[in-house]
Amino acid sequence: MNYPNGKRVRKDQSVSNRRGKPDFSNRGMSLEEDINVTNSYYLQAGIAVVHKKPTPVQIVNVDYPRRSAAVIKEAYFKQASTTDFNGVYRGKYIDFEAKETRNKTSFPLSNVHQHQIDHMKAVHKHEGVCFMIIKFSPLDEVFLLPSPQLFQYWDDQWDGGRKSIPYACIQSKGMKIPFHYQARVDYAKVLDKLYF
């Protein structure tokens, strides 16, 4: 059987485990790809307009072996990027960062940068909806952590606090994002519960 993406399913791939429950552990997509699929679905279904922000790059050196085969040899980031995604949902500006970790017990704050926190604080100050989507890859669990909770851990680390957010805290202060076939990271359902 071929799936809508045109890729064949290998005979050794299992869609369910022994108990008959779906097994999504080897979906083969990264968090960012899953969010892009979700955003495309949201756009087509008229749910939200959210896009990945392009990273500004300055191209310095290009090799033109043939007109149709230009190769970028040297490029630099023009400036530090802010967050990964932004858009509009239910009349509100939303802005969020997506991060994956291989850690099972905590999310390291070293995965986030000061300029990203500064940007998120500015969005939050102007009453935009700002949050972080965190995937614990070994557990195949994805959470939405609202920005105020993220800011608390971020600021505390400079006063001798933890350099990571414990998994248990993300479970209690954030919300688990359900997986769906069309909206793989269905964060809109979580936003409905938290903000609308």
Each residue's pLDDT tens digit, 128-145: 999 999 999 999 999 999
pTM above 0.85, yes or no: no
> Domains, the chain, ranges and CATH?
44-52+80-195 (3.40.1350.10)
| Strand 92-101 versus strand 129-136 pairing type | parallel
Could you tell me if 160 and 153 are in contact, meaning their C-beta atoms sit under 8 angstroms apart? no
Tens digits of residue pLDDT in 158-178: 999 999 999 999 999 999 998
Residues 6+ apart with CB under 8 A from 1: 9
